[in-house]
Amino acid sequence: MGKSWNLHTQDGIGILEFDCPDTEVNVLTAENMAELRDVLVEIPKRSEIKALIIVSAKKRIFIAGADIKEIQNISTEEDAFKKAEHGKQVVQLLEDLNIPTVTVINGACLGGGYELALATKYRVASFSEKVQIGLPEVKLGILPGFGGSIRLPRLLGLLKALPLILAGKVIPSKDALKNGMVDRLFPEGTLRENAVEFAKEIVQGKINGISSGRQLKRKSNWFLEGTPFGRSLVFKQAKQNVLKETKGFYPAPLQIIDLVRRTCGRKGQSVFQEESRDFSKLAVTPVSKSLIKVFFMMEQYKKFPWTDISGKVPSVNKCGVLGAGVMGGGIAQLVSYKSIPVRVKDINEKALAGALKEAWRIYGGALKRRKITAYDRDYKMGLISVGLTNDGLRRADIIIEAVVENLEIKQKVFKELSELTDAHVILASNTSSLSVNQLADVSKSPERVVGLHFFNPVHRMPLVEIVPSSRTSREVLERTIRFSRTLGKTVIVVKDVPGFLVNRLLLPYMNEAAYLVEEGVLPEELDRIAEQFGMPMGPVELVDQVGIDVGYKVAHNLSEAYGERMKVSSVLEEAKQKGLLGKKSGRGFYIYHGKEKKLNPDFKFQKFAKPIPQEEVMKRLIYIMVNEAARCLDEKVVNDPSTVDIGMIMGTGFSPFRAGLLRYADQVGLPNILADLERFQKSVNRARFEPSPLLERLAETNQTFYQ
């Protein structure tokens, strides 16, 4: 019937197939929504159609959502309102059909795709793990614009629907069935045939009831869902949770709460128009525009071709981990979580026990959050084996070294591993700042050596830095990239320089915080200023989180490499001398008791009489990173500004609503940053704030990092 939608019948069942041309995924665009409208207008005229099922012609993709590029290009509230209303009109035509309608979900069903599904009377899906269902619009700084903010609470009730929309949560088919988001699950191979039979049974009146989760009314929920006072408590608690999680930087979740509160229990088209108005307000905000930029960056780096190898390379079927500390245990847990057998080797039985304990702890948290079952935990723990000898490492396809951050020790390890293992085995180091080239120098097969830098905690931090030496083979690099992506990580490939990218930027930030403490800014004040800027935690607490011993060691490595501009502050020296470890021991710059923290009295923190203005504190913390990032670009440590930004967002939690460190710098204006750096050179320290040559060149010609 058209370019994207094809309608045919089978035994009285209309089968409406969606197939976006020339693309691997289905997305809803203004063009194909207009085409869908024409189809839906015709269906009531077809008396032979007794029921309608909507299916996808794409393999394991139903509808990935609305076309985000169209959302990105919205420039006015009026334009946003019209787009939302046009989409709603089409969705309403589907909801108004006077025949049974069934959405057949065979893969990703997200955003506008699930909003379309909510307009049908029934939804079925396959058991496949590829099925992912949800309304993730909040992650783009907007809210569902095709009626999802209204229909999902009506379907599931407030207590189930609100957390799903506010978190933009995407869930698998089994959880969707329990929640009532779908009504039946069928085998993937026979999904369409089963859906047709399901529709026939509906027409014949044989379907008695739907999923147990839909509109589940429990007495314990009646007060919270069914009374004005109860609902007010739900909305109040939701707002408190959102503010705690987002610190008020993201307007979309707060707007969602307000919209659902205003429309809850109301009927008629006016409630849908309220959703369109709220959508239009959010779609033009700088936060939404920034989050969309971040989304496209993340999509780009999921498949970014770091090498020119596009064909098949040997996969990693077994992994070895050398070193059973916190990082080693975390890496082993992650590898086993992806169903890859892993052998952990250490010279200390207590350390090996600690690695197993760490993996068990992480799995316990996943079990508690219902991410896995007890069977999953036990099976995946069984994939982790430990030993004191190298015997178990010989059969590995990759060995990840995670021993103490000491060059001589690591060199000894790599010399031994290169002599022990076959030519196909990748030898990877989890070093955070040491030279991969110097590890390759002592190896019998330097082409097999590569840096693979995970961030702590391994199971939560989404980034890995992959660091090839000058002799790492293209195949080893490509295999390491694919292995990292198998683990679910975002990959950036960086040049072998001290600190690589993320630590080279982050350590000056933490070091500058220590210098500010020397100048009389209290740690709590520093952390508050950084958090108000949007950092996930303040720099002083971050030092404690990383570990003072670890941070000090990396800081000294960078100081030796980069000289005076990264000289370690006396405050960090003092903390190291006092033997403080930070959060892991309960004592650092702060003393920790559970979730509570207070300043450590071991330090004589003193606020000076002449306070440093908050804006100046913030500029010193952030601009020192911008300046170092410019050096990294100039030295070809990374390939372009977006690699810096994705690295800082995914590796440090840099504020996504600012779209990245260098996009933020562009917004501030590089001439303004250069002027402040030159001022700090004179008033604070010449070496630390000396502008990088690239920043000077760009600022003087009024250019930006993103040309």
The β-bridge relationship of strands 384-387 and 342-345 is parallel
Which residue's entry shows tokens 């899906």?
125
| Under 8 Å between Cβ of 292 and 68 | yes
| Under 8 Å between Cβ of 480 and 426 | yes
Q: 73 CB contacts (<8 Å, ≥6 apart)?
A: none
The β-bridge relationship of strands 5-10 and 463-468 is unpaired
CA distance linking residue 325 with residue 283, whole number of Å: 46
CA distance linking residue 258 with residue 450, whole number of Å: 51
CA-derived radius of gyration, the chain? 28
Listed as own residue / partner, the contacts of 574-580 with beta carbons closer than 8 Å and 24 or more positions apart are 574/603, 575/543, 575/548, 575/603, 576/548, 576/549, 576/552, 578/602, 580/548
Q: 176 CB contacts (<8 Å, ≥6 apart)?
A: 125, 131, 133, 182
Indicate which residues carry an active-site annotation: 465
The enclosing H or E element of 7 equals: strand 5-10
| Under 8 Å between Cβ of 133 and 176 | yes
Please count the other Cβ atoms lying within 10 Å of the Cβ belonging to residue 184.
16
CA distance linking residue 238 with residue 264, whole number of Å: 15
Which conformational region is residue 59 in: left (phi greater than 0), alpha (psi within -120 to 50 degrees), or beta?
Answer: beta
Please count the other Cβ atoms lying within 10 Å of the Cβ belonging to residue 669.
13
> What is the number of alpha carbons within 13 Å of residue 355 lying toward its C-beta?
33
CA distance linking residue 368 with residue 374, whole number of Å: 10
CA 225 to chain centre: 32
CA distance linking residue 515 with residue 512, whole number of Å: 5
* Backbone phi and psi for residue 301, each to the nearest 5 degrees, phi listed first: -80, -10
Q: Is 157 helix (H, G, I), strand (E, B) or coil?
A: coil
| Under 8 Å between Cβ of 341 and 386 | no
Please count the other Cβ atoms lying within 10 Å of the Cβ belonging to residue 286.
12
CA distance linking residue 122 with residue 105, whole number of Å: 11
* Backbone phi and psi for residue 680, each to the nearest 5 degrees, phi listed first: -70, -30
Please count the other Cβ atoms lying within 10 Å of the Cβ belonging to residue 2.
13
CA distance linking residue 34 with residue 18, whole number of Å: 13
Q: Comparing C-alpha atoms, which of 422, 132, 137, 114 is closest to residue 259?
A: 137
User: E strands, 211-355, where?
Assistant: 319-322, 342-345
| Token pair in block for residue 518 | 């020397």
Please count the other Cβ atoms lying within 10 Å of the Cβ belonging to residue 168.
20
